[in-house]
Amino acid sequence: MKRPEVGDRIILTEDVSWTKKGSTGVITKINSWLNTFTANINGKEIELKEGKFEIL
């Protein structure tokens, strides 16, 4: 699997908080230290861990 980069479009593979599986968004920040990603999904910023999304 390709390493996610800022600007990559993603789709959620499971429900995360209030967002539903299948929602799409764009990665806006990467935190290498914590191995987390921030994405804009449906106009809101949400923090994700690898494995909760796939790159489109």
Instruction: State yes or no: pLDDT of 1 exceeds 70.
Output: no
Mean pLDDT of 43-53: 93
DSSP 19: B
Quote the pLDDT of residue 2: 77
Residue 46 in this model has a pLDDT that exceeds 90:
yes
pLDDT of the residue at 14: 94
CA separation for the pair 52, 10 (Å, rounded)? 10
Average pLDDT over residues 35-43: 94
Q: What is the DSSP letter of 17?
A: T
Provide mean pLDDT across the span 26-40: 95
Mean per-residue pLDDT over the chain, rounded: 93
DSSP 20: P
